[in-house]
Structure 1
Amino acid sequence: MTSGPGPSHLRPVAAAATEAAPAPEDPGTGLTEPRPRGGGSRFISDVVVELGFVARERVDAAVEEGRASGRTPEQVLLDSGALTRDQLSRAIADRFGLSHVDLNVYKPDLSALNLIGVQAARRFNAAPIGLADDGVLLVAMADPSNILALDDLKLMTGHEVRPVVASQEDIAGLISRMSRLDDAVAAAVEEEEEEEGASITDIRESAEDAPTIKLVNSVVAQAVEEGASDIHFEPDGHEMRVRFRVDGVLSETTSIPRRMIAGVTSRVKIMGDLDISERRLPQDGRVGLTVEGRSVDIRIVTMPSVHGEGIVMRLLDKNQALLSLDALGMSGAPRERFESAFHQAYGAVLATGPTGSGKS
């Protein structure tokens, strides 16, 4: 490329520049740390070439085509299929010296996701996904240059925020998962309001209503998708809080309006073949379900409280029940000691840990 006047979208790069390999991604988390940055500002199209995603000649052609059509070179490359959205997000992260997150691999923290509402996530096109070791809130964004959104998120969450870059499609999918249960609750309430004779006196009839069934099924399906080991239904006198236990940590997922608590409680009891008329004594039961082709065993326990009956559903996904020692992360000296103990002719091996830590 000559050093004379060039396209306004692209800064000339020295011919001796070599391609820089992307920073390695942590295969366990999906989070790629930023690589050391070179001096001077760069266009995203420069970074696309540096990372080896697209050849320089193709980028130059995209610049000319973008000038003619009023589009950016990146949009031209995306539309032509020469560049994927994941590659574009990695180039943006490298351009700003930020970490990149693959939300298909990274497991967002539910407590972080619940720091903002779905509407705010859609408005900012961003979603909190976890807390860093230093307590800073990690926020997945497609456009990390949106300083106003970052300032608003800092005020809304009460945390210092650090943007990490994700593809537009990944963020949209995450926000969609965030809204699934809220939409199910809203739809259930709306369908109940539209029914004639809204006062339902028969608890069993309420439990068999389509909105109630859809809501309970949505909660269970979401829990299985999130890899939860338990679902907690906790009435507090005003509404029923729904929390998932993921990796041993309880995180609030949604809330059920007071008017629907009786129907939801009875529906769960019916699933476990429990007595819906008994509300003063603890009960337990079991049910087997198929959720999106996955066989799941569920143990259901009810416990009376001053605000009503609380329910805990313990989930056992049979597809994930048998894990190898490698999958459990056991290696080195602990693994050798564990395997040696198993081959002894006497003694016992104890598997201990808190609820949801993976003992089963």
Structure 2
Amino acid sequence: MARKRKELTDVLIEMGVMKPNDANRAREESFRSGKPLHEQIVAMKLASEEDCAKALAIQHDMEYIDVDKSILATANFDLIPADLIKRHQVLPLGKQDGKLRIVIGDPTDIDTLDALRFRLNMPLETCLGVKSKIKTHIDRIFAEERASIDEAIKRISSIDRGASIDIKPGQQADNDDAPIIKLVTAIISEAVRNRASDIHVEPMKDRVRVRYRIDGVCVERDNIAKRMQGPVTARIKIQAGMDIAEKRLPQDGRIKMIIDDKPVDFRVSSLPGYHGESVVLRILRPDSVKIGVQSMGFEEEDYAKFKRIISRPNGIFLVTGPTGSGKTTTLYGALQDLNKPDRKIITAEDPVEYNFAGINQCQVRDNIGLTFAKILRSMLRQAPNIILVGEIRDLEVAEVAIQASLTGHLVFSTLHTNDAPSAITRLIDMGVKPFLVASSIQAVMAQRLIRTLCPLCKQPDPDPDKRWLQILGFTERELVGKTLYRPVGCANCSNTGFKGRKGIFEMMLMNNEVRELAFKRAPTNAIRKAALASGMKSLLMDGKIKVLNGITTAGEIARVTQAEGVLVDPQ
């Protein structure tokens, strides 16, 4: 039989900080005002907030944490998304025995604990602290992050406008207190903490615009004074190992940084433009490719097909889609599943985005003649079981990849086509013989990334936009008994209504009919019709499933698929 929990007032009386008469007054006033009892006691000044927190900890059998005296490492803030910390006012302490230890200010707030468990998907060990001190600590941490950018901009703006603040060639600018260095570091750190995939530093006529790409959509962050353009660009190029004196030609580089005690890589590209050099930093997080293929949004049927395909001993598996559609993440996920001591895996990539233990990764270097085709030919003499080719760009690479697949190797690669059936005709158009395409390709998968609705603020949509439903081809029968959801916006999702991304997929298996059509050089529409007849789900069909399951909206599916020209399936 469970032990009956003591009343909060009884605990405070036992602690000697409250008298019985005051306890009765507090209970009556709490009932009248509707305030939680512990808040009412503090409001009536019958006990301090700290004493109430200690009493609550005793009442709920929780550990009390003195937020002022505890060492709360900033690095631990990376254990919980910043939006959750701000929204629910929780402090992460660290992981212990497989549980995430957090400090909360109100043990009676069951909704907050449920939301945290749902979002973090891991067991929690809750400790109790003073609510106002928790808020102060959170505000201070995030104010420092916000202020670091504003302060750097302000400090640079205060410099005499006639003074030169250019960084000269060969100057390393190692002083971390320099305003430009603080500004660039703050921008990069903030982008990482906000889950951005890219940072865009774009010169305009009278300013420099900084934008983050979050969940596939660009969000404007800062406008920097035009005269800071040169120093900001130079600082990034110095970090990336690029030539700051060369401003007429495009350049590529790479930055490695430690942010919140975690390694983060950045692929840097500079492009000369009319108003100056545009710089883009692609953020590469090793953790992002460790989430597991199943977490990417596969329906059960497609996931089973995917597992069967990557388990085959030979053949080619192609993933198609535009830049930024998650092709690399998908193939890396497949390699992680297959990365076992009894298999040898070699990759040819341009560039190598993530490093994996146990996999031999080769960097393409066209400037010295180390091309995809040359690496591939050398790979075959290394006796691999599995080969990944970053991209099939031309006939030479395609022919070597096909040769590898026909000699007992499993080959993964990507191709830039709008859908899965187009990959067949694209290879034939490159000059690959149709019989080689038909015999070597095992499957082709097209994919896109869609924004998913924020789980904390999404709401049922009683009157969904019929225009989007009509565009996607929904029938009344499909919508019967289904609840569609709409974005609302909250602190958790930066008021966008969307949080995170998942994939929509089009998996085409090469059955006998599709192989025969490839052999006969059939047009894409004929191949697509045969694939749909044999059970392939199109990108649109997979997107509709995710709308019906409340994962995203019809408007989002229309935005992603219509933009790529794959909205309507042939009849």
TM-score, normalised relative to structure 1? 0.55
Code of the residue aligned with 1:243 in structure 2: it is: R
CA distance in 2, matches of 1:200, 1:6: 63
Matches within 5 A, 1:101-180: 105=119, 169=134, 173=138, 177=142, 180=145
Equivalent pair of 1:216/1:264 in contact (CA under 8 Å)? yes
Matches within 5 A, 1:39-118: 43-45=34-36, 59=37, 69=45, 77-78=52-53, 80-82=55-57, 84-87=104-107, 105=119
What's 1:323 paired with? 291
What's 2:263 paired with? 295
Equivalent pair of 2:200/2:280 in contact (CA under 8 Å)? yes
2:302 to 334, 342, 345: 334
What is the CA deviation profile of residues 93-148 of structure 1, one whole-angstrom value per residue up to 9, with x for unaligned ones? 9xxxxxx9659959xxxxxxxxxxxxxxxxxxxxxxxxxxxxxxxxxxxxxxxxxx
What is the CA deviation profile of residues 220-244 of structure 1, one whole-angstrom value per residue up to 9, with x for unaligned ones? 2222222222111112122212112
CA distance in 2, matches of 1:172, 1:193: 30
What is the CA deviation profile of residues 187-235 of structure 1, one whole-angstrom value per residue up to 9, with x for unaligned ones? 3542673689943455448872611111111122222222222111112
What's 1:38 paired with? none
1:347 to 304, 311, 316: 316
CA distance in 2, matches of 1:184, 1:103: 33
What's 1:199 paired with? 164
1:10 to 20, 30, 43: 30
Code of the residue aligned with 1:292 in structure 2: it is: D
Equivalent pair of 1:231/1:314 in contact (CA under 8 Å)? yes
CA distance in 2, matches of 1:5, 1:348: 73
CA distance in 2, matches of 1:212, 1:6: 55
Code of the residue aligned with 1:43 in structure 2: it is: G
Change (3 A) 1:227 1:308: same
Change (3 A) 1:358 1:342: closer
What is the CA deviation profile of residues 155-181 of structure 1, one whole-angstrom value per residue up to 9, with x for unaligned ones? xxxxxxxxxxx9995798479647724
Q: Check if 1:190 corresponds to 2:155.
A: yes
CA distance in 2, matches of 1:182, 1:104: 32
Identity of aligned residues (%): 25
Q: Check if 1:229 corresponds to 2:197.
A: yes
CA distance in 2, matches of 1:70, 1:44: 15
What's 1:282 paired with? 250
CA distance in 1, matches of 2:307, 2:213: 30
CA distance in 1, matches of 2:39, 2:252: 66
Code of the residue aligned with 1:348 in structure 2: it is: F
Change (3 A) 1:64 1:255: closer
TM-aligned CA deviation for residue 337 of structure 1: 1.4
Code of the residue aligned with 1:180 in structure 2: it is: E
Change (3 A) 1:306 1:351: same
Equivalent pair of 1:232/1:243 in contact (CA under 8 Å)? yes
CA distance in 2, matches of 1:102, 1:237: 45
Equivalent pair of 1:294/1:317 in contact (CA under 8 Å)? no
CA distance in 2, matches of 1:317, 1:7: 52
2:223 to 255, 261, 273: 255
CA distance in 2, matches of 1:303, 1:102: 42
Equivalent pair of 2:213/2:219 in contact (CA under 8 Å)? yes
Partner SS state of residue 272, structure 2: strand
What's 1:273 paired with? 241
CA distance in 2, matches of 1:103, 1:216: 35
CA RMSD of aligned residues (A): 4.3
Equivalent pair of 2:148/2:183 in contact (CA under 8 Å)? no
Name which one, 1 or 2, has greater alpha-carbon Rg: 2
Q: Which runs of 5+ in 1 are unaligned?
A: 13-41, 46-58, 94-99, 107-165
Change (3 A) 1:174 1:201: closer
Change (3 A) 1:86 1:314: farther
Code of the residue aligned with 2:45 in structure 1: it is: S
Code of the residue aligned with 2:284 in structure 1: it is: L
Equivalent pair of 2:257/2:265 in contact (CA under 8 Å)? yes
Change (3 A) 1:178 1:340: farther
CA distance in 2, matches of 1:240, 1:5: 61
Code of the residue aligned with 2:300 in structure 1: it is: G
TM-score, normalised relative to structure 2? 0.36
TM-aligned CA deviation for residue 298 of structure 1: 1.6
Change (3 A) 1:187 1:90: farther
Partner SS state of residue 303, structure 1: strand
CA distance in 2, matches of 1:304, 1:272: 16
TM-aligned CA deviation for residue 346 of structure 1: 2.2
CA distance in 1, matches of 2:166, 2:289: 41
How many residues align? The count is: 248
Code of the residue aligned with 1:352 in structure 2: it is: G
Code of the residue aligned with 1:190 in structure 2: it is: R
TM-aligned CA deviation for residue 331 of structure 1: 4.5
Code of the residue aligned with 1:297 in structure 2: it is: D
Partner SS state of residue 318, structure 2: coil
